[in-house]
Structures are given as C-alpha cells and as structure tokens.
Structure 1
Amino acid sequence: MTGTDSFSEEAVWGDLANIPADPPKMRDICDKCGRPVPVCWCSALPTQPFNPKSRIILLQHPAEEKRALRTAPMLSVGLAPGKCLIYKGKKFPKFDSELESILTDRKSLLLFPSAASVPIEQLDLSEGPFNLILIDGTWPQAKAIYTCSTVLHGMRQVKLVSSGNSSYIIRTQPTDGCLSTLETAIEALSILERDDSYREQLLRPLHALCQFQLDKGAVTHQSKEFLIKHNQYPKLIGRRLNKLLRNADNLKGRKDPEEDDAEEKH
C-alpha cells in the first residue's frame, strides 16, 4: 500500500467517524392530520366536527395511504367520530363481519357510476339515514375493487351529477367534472343532509392544502380531457383513457367533439 492510499483510507475512515450517531431531527408532525406542522391544514377545519345523520364508509385501496397529499383524513377529522369509517384493502368485505353487515344493510348506498346508478338527488330522503359507500382510489383501482368485491354488485347504486370542476387543482383529474373522493363525499352529504354548510366548510382544508402546495412551487393542473382537447397532453392516449373520455362525453350529452369546438368558437 502506498502512502497516498494510506492517506486516502485514513481520510475516509475519518469522515465516517464524524457522521453523527443520532438520526437527523424530523419535522414536528400534527397529531390530528398527520401533516408536518408548517403545512398543517387543521386551522381550516370547522370549529366543531359535523355530525350528519348519514355516515360515510370508504373502501380504500392500500396505495392511497401512501400518497403524500391524501384527502381522506380531512373527511375523517371533519366529521364526528363514527361518521366516517375507512376500510383498507383490494377486496371486500374480506371476512370483516362489521363491514359485511354495513354492505348488506338495505339503507346502504354505493356511490358508483354504473349503468344501474340513479342520481342521488332523486332519492327519497325519508328512507334515510343512509350508509354511503365510496371506493377511494384511482379509477382503475376503484374499478378493480368493484370487480373483485361481488357483494357490491347487488347494492343499491347511486351517482352524483357534478355541477363543476374539482377544487383539487394540484392533482390531474381524468375528465372535466371529475371530483376527488373527498369532494364527492362532501357533495353527497350536502344533498342527503339538505345542508350547504357541509360543502362550504368541509372543503376549506382542501383549499388550504392546495394553497400550501402552490406557495411551494406547485402548479395548477388541468384535466386530461382539457389537455387532450387543446393538444397539450404529453402522452399517447391509451384505450382505457379514450373510453373514459367517450363515456364522459356521453354523460354530458355530447354528440361529437367537433360540434363542441364549433360551439366554443361562437
């Protein structure tokens, strides 16, 4: 070994010896929302949790829990204890007797855009209160959960006729009019409870979260439908996305995309 090699090895070991034994100090985390304190959105929550007659049950894909910008906690802490239940998995009820009793209850409704779904606005609210079941995940994940969970197929199914675009502007939605799970649940509760304050107050944490991210350099996201329509989508359109966009056009009563372009020009 040369003197140079000896010196280099000695320097390396010296550097290693200077590495602190204790792990670096982590940022303080909010006990309620689980976010770092500087970007905690709890100050935007209602003064008191809402206590609706109906309750929300989320069937959550495991991948959702790993997302840094999750919105399900906004719902669980914005509502009174027991009014938002979250079950994680890819197939349900997965030998869970409590969940099975909920899914088979005649007052349980699955909020899912199937051919058998009826607008939630057409429900006879005197039949409530309801258990409103939502699948929390991306559309492919939600569809896979629905396909694998045969108990869901026989449930009474409802859909939400959206009247605007998502406020979750830092996340790309598939089509215009698509809402996040949080927004869908809040909109549905506003209808079931006949109370617009659900919509007005429970969305404030989402607005705060988006503003935090925008202040840190995030940008607003248009839907894939918007980007494709304006020739700004950076990827090739796959068969699944193309089908989803066609279905969205049908729901909006469109006949031909070119007709839409012509209408916008007038």
Structure 2
Amino acid sequence: MQNKRSVCENCKRPTKVCYCPGLPKEKLSLKADLVIFQDPREDKQAFNSVRLLERSIENVTIFKGRVFFEQQFNNPVLLYPSKNASNTLPEHVGTIILIDATWKFAKNLYNKNPWLKNLPTVVLQPVHEPIYAALRKPPKEGLISTAEALILILEFIGDLDNSNSLRSALKYAVDAEPWQKEVYEKSNNDS
C-alpha cells in the first residue's frame, strides 16, 4: 500500500509546506493588466511562483507554450533583460508582460517569439535582496523569479500596497520550504 502525502487543494503544495496562510485575504487588483507567457516546463516545477501569483491577483492572463501568436496589449511593457531594454518605465503602463521559465528557457522563449522584441522592454535593478534565490540559485546576479519581477515593477509604478502584499506572500512561501534552503546553503558553501 502506497502512502500518499496530503496536498493542499488551493496551492497544490504538500500540506506541510502549504503557503495559503501567507496569501492576501482577498485577491489583489493591480493598477495594470498582468500577462504571463509561461514555458510548459515551468508549470511542472514543484515550486512555481506563478501559481502563487494566480492565487493572489485578480485577472492574471497566462499563456502556456513555447511559441505564441502575436498579441495586442494596452500600453504594454515587457520586463526582460534584453540588450535593447530601457532602465526606465514608460509614463503609463497598461499591461505588464512577464516571461515565466527557468532562466535558460526564458531566453529561448523570448527568441522564439520575435514579436516580443517589438514591445517596449525594461530591465529594472532589484532594490531588495532576492527572496526566491533561497530556492533556486540564479545563474548570474540580478536575475529574479517571475513573482519578484512583478513585485519590482509594481514598486516602480507606485503600486506599493500590492507589491508589499506579494512580497510578504512570497517570503511566507519560501520560508515554508526549509529543506530547499539547506540544499541551497550547501551548494553555495561547496562552490
């Protein structure tokens, strides 16, 4: 007889590491639309920050795949570290666009969808220590999780209440994963 571990119906995490108590009491309404292009491999990750965003924010649009038809958005801004990215946001942001994939596959997804390169693109420097790095070590400094990218852009457009709520939810979720922190600390000490 196989012993199945209990899983939370809402966050799909094992109940021992359920992050639902850390989510906002009511879903957040952002000042801009949120669109996420997600690599299908990312959706299969045990801990996926987009799942946390889906459970925290109203009206998140997620496109899953590797190649997407060109879309039209209201005053879009793509947060991505391309060589042509600006370090300042346009005056009005109507749609925040994020790419959700492992760092390696985010670049693939960006390159397979050349129309993304026509969007206004920004790269913003994190102002806080990365939270998610305790779970997945970025390949280079300055790379952050999808949830942290959203938090960062919300701070820059002045949506501080929502950015603080999401930061708290992400920190709660990461803190619920103590075994992964031990693995991360060991990998940093070995290098």
Could you say if the C-alpha distance between residues 217 and 63 of structure 1 is closer, same or farther in structure 2, counting changes exceeding 3 Å?
closer
Q: Are 1:105 and 2:66 counterparts?
A: no
Could you say if the C-alpha distance between residues 220 and 179 of structure 1 is closer, same or farther in structure 2, counting changes exceeding 3 Å?
farther
1:97 match: none
Q: Are 1:86 and 2:53 counterparts?
A: no
Is contact 1:57–1:134 with CA below 8 Å preserved after alignment?
yes
Question: Which of 1 and 2 has higher RCO (CA within 8 Å, sep 6+)?
Answer: 2
Q: CA deviation at 1:211?
A: 2.0
1:69 match: 47
* Aligned mates of 2:127, 2:12 — CA distance in 1: 31
2:153 match: 188
* Aligned mates of 2:173, 2:31 — CA distance in 1: 28
* Aligned mates of 2:50, 2:151 — CA distance in 1: 11
Matched residue type, 2:43: E
Is contact 1:118–1:157 with CA below 8 Å preserved after alignment?
yes
Aligned residues: 189
Q: CA deviation at 1:141?
A: 0.6
Deviations 1:198-227 (A, max 9, x none): 23221223222322221x4742737x9xx6
* Aligned mates of 1:136, 1:191 — CA distance in 2: 20
Q: CA deviation at 1:151?
A: 1.4
Match of 2:125 among 146, 161, 171: 161
* Aligned mates of 2:116, 2:151 — CA distance in 1: 21
1:140 match: 104
Q: CA deviation at 1:28?
A: 3.2
Matched residue type, 1:38: K
* Aligned mates of 1:187, 1:77 — CA distance in 2: 19
Structure 2 regions of 5+ residues with no counterpart?
none
Could you say if the C-alpha distance between residues 28 and 221 of structure 1 is closer, same or farther in structure 2, counting changes exceeding 3 Å?
closer
CA RMSD of aligned residues (A): 2.3
Counterparts of 1:13-24 in structure 2, within 5 Å, are: 24=2
Q: Secondary structure at 2:155's aligned position in 1?
A: helix
Is contact 1:163–1:177 with CA below 8 Å preserved after alignment?
no
Q: Are 1:178 and 2:143 counterparts?
A: yes
2:90 match: 123
| Stretches (4+) displaced over 4 A | none
Q: CA deviation at 1:181?
A: 0.9
Matched residue type, 1:48: E
Is contact 1:165–1:179 with CA below 8 Å preserved after alignment?
no
Give the fraction of aligned pairs with identical amino acids, expressed as a percent: 26
Is contact 2:135–2:180 with CA below 8 Å preserved after alignment?
no
Could you say if the C-alpha distance between residues 39 and 176 of structure 1 is closer, same or farther in structure 2, counting changes exceeding 3 Å?
same
Structure 1 regions of 5+ residues with no counterpart?
1-19, 94-99, 234-266
Is contact 2:37–2:64 with CA below 8 Å preserved after alignment?
yes
1:202 match: 166
* Aligned mates of 2:96, 2:167 — CA distance in 1: 18
1:96 match: none
Compute the TM-score of the two structures, normalised by the length of structure 2: 0.87
Q: Secondary structure at 2:176's aligned position in 1?
A: helix
Q: Secondary structure at 1:203's aligned position in 2?
A: helix
